[in-house]
Amino acid sequence: MPKLSSAVDSWDPRHETIPIHSWVHPWLPLLGQKLETLYHTIRTRLESVLHAWHPSDMSAFYILSPWKTVFDPTSWEQIMVRYIIPKLLGVIHEFQVNPADQKLDQFYWVRTWAGVIPVHHMLHIMDDLIPQELLSNEHVRYRLNMGLDMMNQAAQGLEVVQPGLRENISYLKAREQRQFEAQTDDMGGGDLSLKEVIEVHAQHNNLLFKPKVGRMQDGHQVYGFGNVSVIIDSLNQKVFAQVDDRWSLVTLEQLVKLEKTSVVRRR
């Protein structure tokens, strides 16, 4: 401890080339809480160089992030709120949407910190990135939250699970579910999105499934399931088919029956 204390007291992050966690953290299993006496000095030195830090400099993330699980949650959040989040908000305010020549540097700088900044603060940063008219759309909010969940999974070293729904399609009847699982298992299985579920179902019924270019309904892309027009509500895990002049909630089995009926009518 005397040697570590002396080294920490003389440590200057502006000139050191070896990150401090590389020679302090190995002692955690042996010294545990005794090392907490050093943390105040370490935080103070780190904070002293963050005033001049710019988010384009990734070194701050590599130096700070290993301390997320070592510092107590309150101290860590204070560092994020005082020194990191204001700088990230600053570059996000400079971010310009230009599809013709889109520059994503600022977005990538912010994304780097997604796994170490508390989620409620990260959501606030994203609020500044997404226009209000999009944030008011529940589908956009759902997708943003879903993306944040995936980033948190990655940051925690967990397997990143793409939102799928084979086991979560609540509107499918039990028989349809078993039939679908047998079909997808033959194709290699895996977690599928609702759109992919319908694509598989169309293939196994020898039907064409594709978007109808330029056609939208209630903010959803209109697809052709054979001769039947459908829209996919991924948020609520539902499929609607155009029946006469209205959109009706359907199961996959009903969708196939509607397609067969439409063929008979055409004849």
Q: Are 46 and 14 in contact (CB under 8 A)?
A: no
The DSSP line for 121-187 is: HHHHHHHHHS-HHHHTSHHHHHHHHHHHHHHHHHHTT--------TTT-TTS-HHHHHHHHHHHHHT
Residue environment code for 165-184, b if the CB has 16+ CB neighbours within 10 A, otherwise e: bbeebeebeeebeebbeebb
38: pLDDT strictly greater than 70: yes
Q: CB-based contacts of 136: which residues, under 8 Å, 6+ apart?
A: none
pLDDT of residue 172: 46
Distances (CA, A) of 147 to 140, 141, 143, 190: 11, 10, 6, 19
**DSSP conformation class of 261:** H
pLDDT of residue 182: 59
**In the structure encoding, which two tokens stand for residue 229, read together?**
């027009």
**Structure confidence by residue, pLDDT tens digits, 158-208:** 665 555 444 444 444 454 555 555 555 555 445 577 888 888 888 888 889
pTM: 0.49
Residue environment code for 112-138, b if the CB has 16+ CB neighbours within 10 A, otherwise e: bbbbbbeeebbeebbeebeeeeeeeee
Maximum Cα–Cα distance across the chain: 91
**Structure confidence by residue, pLDDT tens digits, 90-121:** 888 777 766 667 777 888 888 888 888 887 78
Count of CB atoms situated within 10 Å of the CB of 27: 14
Greater confidence (225 vs 161) lies with 225
Tell me whether residue 45 is exposed, middle or buried, using C-beta atoms within 10 angstroms of its C-beta: 0 to 12, 13 to 18, 19 or more. middle
Q: What is the rounded CA–CA span in Å between residue 125 and residue 91?
A: 10
Q: At 58, is the secondary structure helix, strand, or coil?
A: coil
